[in-house]
Amino acid sequence: MKRSLAIISAFSLIHSFPTLATSADFSATVKVQNTVVLSKGEDLSFGTIRAVAQADGVKFATLTINPNPNAAIKTTKNDDGDALISVIEEGSPATFTVSDVVPNAALTITKPGTGRLESASKGAGEPQFSIDGWKFFITSGPNINTAYDETTPNLIASEKGEVEFAIGATLSTDNLVTTVPYKDVEYTGTFQIEVAY
């Protein structure tokens, strides 16, 4: 009996002291990145050309840069009436890389509208150029070597969250009614594209 009481007393003593615990604080974070990272490689170049605009501005000459960098035919041209474009040095498509996106995500490209290439020293009655007919070609990722389809967007990121594409377009002589010739200068324009989920 005494032994039982001693065991109970010892058990009570052990469990009568509070249990010691240690606590620590920690934080939780999440970073949202809904905007894709879009990096330009090369600018769009129509090369070096001879250009003549038709005086009445009714007919046009055009030069198209194929966005497929591996295509056998990289440029095509069409002269109409007195308007003409002759290629001296071939041009090349613009190139872009999309990165830091959700792996295997489908992305859309919003193309620019019709734009202009103008000389820095543009004078009265001096013809310029217009650009439209934007085309995109996928150069990496699951749909590599495929034309981009804006009706069913097929720009798909790789498992690393990256994809590359190229841009081509059509350059046209001016519709300005003028007999002033094109100058021997560089004609430039700035355009914007958007890539999004």
pLDDT tens digit sequence for 139-160: 999 999 999 999 999 999 999 9
Backbone angles phi, psi at 80, to 5 degrees: -140, 120
Query: What are the tokens at 121?
Result: 């020293």
Judged against a pLDDT cut of 70, whether residue 178 lies above it is answered with yes
The two beta strands, 94-99 and 106-110, are: unpaired
Query: What are the tokens at 43?
Result: 């600018």
pLDDT reported for residue 5: 47
Which pLDDT band, with edges at 50, 70 and 90, does 78 fall under? Answer: very high
Tens of pLDDT, residues 111-139: 999 999 999 988 889 999 999 999 999 99
Place of tokens 């974070």: 29
Neighbours of 111 (CB within 10 A): 17
The two beta strands, 94-99 and 37-40, are: antiparallel
The two beta strands, 115-119 and 187-188, are: antiparallel
Tens of pLDDT, residues 19-55: 789 999 999 999 999 999 999 999 999 999 999 999 9
pLDDT reported for residue 16: 58
Q: If you average pLDDT over every residue of the chain, what do you get? A: 92
| Residue spans of alpha helices (H) in the chain | 2-16
